[in-house]
């Protein structure tokens, strides 16, 4: 129709995810294809999530995006890949009552405005790109009436940020590295829903909210180029661990789950140290937390808590159940007490804190 006074909007929310078998290293940097499979747990959307509203209108003159209320550039290759892939899959849309008729080829000409915000401090290095790109791709797909399933959308989110493909699903998710050169089979699959193992409690102990010094993208490129351990890990270690982890999740075997999670986090950080120049993501507080959890698990005779660290010093602790989670919080407060300059409402408790 001739009505140019319309605006179509979609809002979506995506949680972040925490890898228990880590992704580290790409075989293709543009398509973001990894050198090994990975497995993650998607967090509850109440706590660490991105909310994105996407809008389209004939009045918009260019694609624009705001992140946490500040305008950011969309010129990066990763944003452009996601926008291009979604636009090319848009289908016809019509709302007769409002006089809106959009043909599938129109999506390539119409401009979008994107408004995104994180409900957690972006600076805290808590996997904001995973939730961000998952949410961007999902909301754009809904807006443009894209009919693809989550698996195919995950392959698009992957081109925004590797770990983002795993945030399209809740529960336990595997990102298969795939074989195709074009990445069509490098997608996420859900292993189990959140209801399958709902006794688990995840606690994130924020050790530092400072921005990490080496970005994941740069870090993994340097590891691929210089670390012999990374190549051994991706070929010899991860394939076996993926099978063991799938089995541990399927049977809700917490001791196996915890041993695999901790071992994989430690090996990931070992590959960082094996990189030249070495990359240090964990700090002294992180190391003390590992020591504390190992000691507790050993004294109980069977693991109570799994720990895992990403590209930063913050500990992600997974307790066997609510009772253990309560004991864990008590231990954290005892061994890592909040300092005097506590800022409770900004999640930051001095140098060592609890989210
Ligand atoms: C993971 N990390 O599996 C691993 C473990 C950090 C340590 O995925 O370059 O932001 O955008 O694909 O996904 C962080 O890397 O990197 C990450 P890109 P991404 O969660």
Q: Is 165 in the pocket of ligand 1 (CB under 6 A)?
A: no
Residues 6+ apart with CB under 8 A from 173: 17, 39, 40, 41, 42, 166, 188, 189, 190, 191
For residue 349, count other CB atoms closer than 10 A to its CB.
20
The pLDDT value given to residue 281: 94
Structure tokens at 226: 């210089």
Distance 130 CA to ligand 1 centre (A): 8
Measured on CA atoms in the order 187, 153, 193, 53, is the torsion positive or negative?
A: positive
Dist. CA 337–CA 354, nearest whole Å: 10
Pairing assessment for the beta strands 305-309 and 188-192 based on DSSP bridges: unpaired
Dihedral angle of Cα 303, 42, 133, 65, to the nearest 10 degrees: -110
Q: What is the DSSP letter of 343?
A: B
Q: Is 22 in the pocket of ligand 1 (CB under 6 A)?
A: yes
Q: Is 17 in the pocket of ligand 1 (CB under 6 A)?
A: no
Dist. CA 299–CA 113, nearest whole Å: 55
Specify the DSSP element, H or E, that contains 326: helix 322-335
Q: Is 214 in the pocket of ligand 1 (CB under 6 A)?
A: no
Measured on CA atoms in the order 23, 271, 217, 311, is the torsion positive or negative?
A: positive
Q: Is 81 in the pocket of ligand 1 (CB under 6 A)?
A: no
Rounded to 10 deg, the angle between the 150-158 and 77-87 helix axes is 150
Asked whether the beta carbons of 51 and 126 are under 8 A apart, the reply is no
Q: Is 186 in the pocket of ligand 1 (CB under 6 A)?
A: no
Q: Is 223 in the pocket of ligand 1 (CB under 6 A)?
A: no
- What is the residue with the minimal CA distance to atom 9 of ligand 1? 217
3-state class of 33 per DSSP? strand
The pLDDT value given to residue 352: 32
Distance 264 CA to ligand 1 centre (A): 14
Rounded to 10 deg, the angle between the 128-143 and 77-87 helix axes is 30
- What is the residue with the minimal CA distance to atom 14 of ligand 1? 216
Q: Is 267 in the pocket of ligand 1 (CB under 6 A)?
A: no
Model-level pTM?
0.94
Asked whether the beta carbons of 270 and 229 are under 8 A apart, the reply is yes
Q: Is 51 in the pocket of ligand 1 (CB under 6 A)?
A: no
Q: Which residues of the chain have pLDDT under 50?
A: 341-355
- What is the residue with the minimal CA distance to atom 12 of ligand 1? 162
Q: Is 282 in the pocket of ligand 1 (CB under 6 A)?
A: no
Asked whether the beta carbons of 133 and 157 are under 8 A apart, the reply is yes
Residues 6+ apart with CB under 8 A from 298: none
- What is the residue with the minimal CA distance to atom 17 of ligand 1? 163
Distance 339 CA to ligand 1 centre (A): 31
Q: Which of 163, 175, 211, 267 to mutate to test the pocket of ligand 1 (most atoms within 8 A of CB)?
A: 163
The pLDDT value given to residue 119: 86
Cis peptide before 277 (omega within 30 of 0): yes
Distance 128 CA to ligand 1 centre (A): 10
On the CB side of 319, CA atoms within 13 Å amount to 18
The pLDDT value given to residue 207: 82
């Amino acid at each position: 129709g001739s009505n140019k006074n319309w605006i179509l909007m979609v809002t979506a929310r995506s949680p972040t995810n925490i890898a228990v078998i880590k992704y580290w290293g790409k075989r293709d940097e543009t398509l973001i294809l990894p050198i090994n499979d990975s497995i993650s747990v998607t967090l509850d959307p109440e706590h660490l999530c991105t909310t994105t509203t996407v809008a389209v209108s004939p009045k918009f003159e260019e694609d624009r995006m705001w992140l946490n209320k500040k305008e950011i550039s969309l010129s990066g290759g990763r944003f452009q890949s996601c926008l291009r892939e979604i636009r090319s899959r848009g289908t016809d849309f019509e709302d007769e009552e409002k006089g809106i008729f959009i043909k599938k080829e129109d999506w390539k000409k119409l401009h979008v405005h994107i408004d995104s915000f994180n409900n957690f401090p972006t600076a805290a290095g808590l996997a904001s790109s995973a939730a961000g790109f998952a949410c961007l791709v999902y909301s754009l797909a809904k807006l443009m009436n894209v009919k693809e399933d989550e698996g195919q959308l995950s392959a698009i989110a992957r081109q925004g940020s590797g770990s983002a493909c795993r945030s399209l699903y809740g529960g336990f998710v595997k990102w298969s590295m795939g074989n195709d050169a074009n990445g069509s089979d490098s997608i996420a699959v859900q292993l189990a829903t959140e209801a399958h193992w709902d006794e688990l409690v995840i606690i994130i102990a924020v050790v530092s909210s400072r921005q990490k010094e080496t970005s994941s993208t740069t870090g993994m490129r340097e590891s691929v180029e210089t670390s012999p351990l990374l190549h051994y890990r991706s070929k010899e270690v991860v394939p076996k661990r993926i099978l063991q982890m799938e089995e541990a999740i399927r049977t809700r075997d917490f001791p196996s789950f915890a041993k695999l999670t901790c071992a994989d986090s430690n090996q990931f950080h070992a590959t960082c140290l094996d990189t030249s120049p070495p990359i240090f993501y964990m700090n002294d507080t992180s190391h003390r937390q590992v020591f504390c959890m190992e000691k507790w698990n050993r004294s109980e005779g069977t693991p109570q808590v799994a720990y895992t660290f990403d590209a930063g010093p913050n500990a992600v602790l997974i307790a066997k159940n609510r009772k253990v989670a309560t004991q864990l919080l008590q231990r954290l407060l005892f061994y890592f007490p909040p300092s005097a300059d506590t800022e409770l409402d900004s999640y930051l408790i001095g140098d060592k804190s609890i989210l």
